[in-house]
Amino acid sequence: MKEQNDDIVRIGNMELRFLVNETQGPGGVVMFEFTVPPNARVPAAHFHREVDEVVYGLEGTLTSTVDRRKHEICKGDSLFIGRGSVHMHENLHADTARILSVLTPGSIGRRYFEEVAAVVNAGGPPDLGRIKQIMLQHGLVPAPPS
C-alpha cells in the first residue's frame, strides 16, 4: 500500500499533492492540489507551449495574473489559462490558499516539480539559471520582465 506522502512534492513552503500524474494512463491529464502560504509567489511569469491549465479555488484566495490581467481565485472559482498565455500565481492574502490545478495534455507533471524542488530546497539562494533550464525542458517558457 502506498503511503499518503508519496503523492506530495514540497517546494520551499509550498506543497503539491498529486491526484493524477504523468505516469498514469496515456498522459492526457495531470491534476494536483496546490497549497500556497501567505505572501508566496510562484512560479515566475511563464507560458506553456503545448499545455492548457485550469485552476479551481478550494480555500483562501489566490491571485493569478494572466496576460497582465489579475484574477482573484476564491473557493468555487475557476480560471482557464490557455497555452501561450503568460501567467503567474501568488498569494497576496493573510490566509493559506489551496487550488486544484488541471493540466492537459499531462506533459508538465510531477517530474517537473520534483526537479524544481531539488533546486529550491537545496539551501541558499536557488540557482535561477538551473530553474529556467528545467522549465524549458518541460515546455514552460519564462516570460521576459514587463
pLDDT at 44: 84
At residue 100, the pLDDT reads 98
pLDDT at 146: 64
Total structural domains within the chain: 1
pLDDT at 145: 73
Domain annotation covers residue 146:
no
pTM over 0.75: yes
Residue 85 falls inside a structural domain: yes
DSSP letters of the chain? ---GGGGEEEETTEEEEEEE-TTSTTS--EEEEEEE-TT-EEEEEEEESS-EEEEEEEES-EEEEETTEEEEE-TT-EEEE-TT--EEEE--SSS-EEEEEEEESTTS-HHHHHHHHHHHTTSSS--HHHHHHHHHHTTEEEPPP-
pLDDT digits (tens, 9 = 90+) for 65-123: 999 999 999 999 999 999 999 999 999 999 999 999 999 999 999 999 999 999 999 99
Q: Domain of 114?
A: 4-139
Within a domain: residue 97? yes
> Residue 93 is part of a domain; what is its CATH number?
2.60.120.10
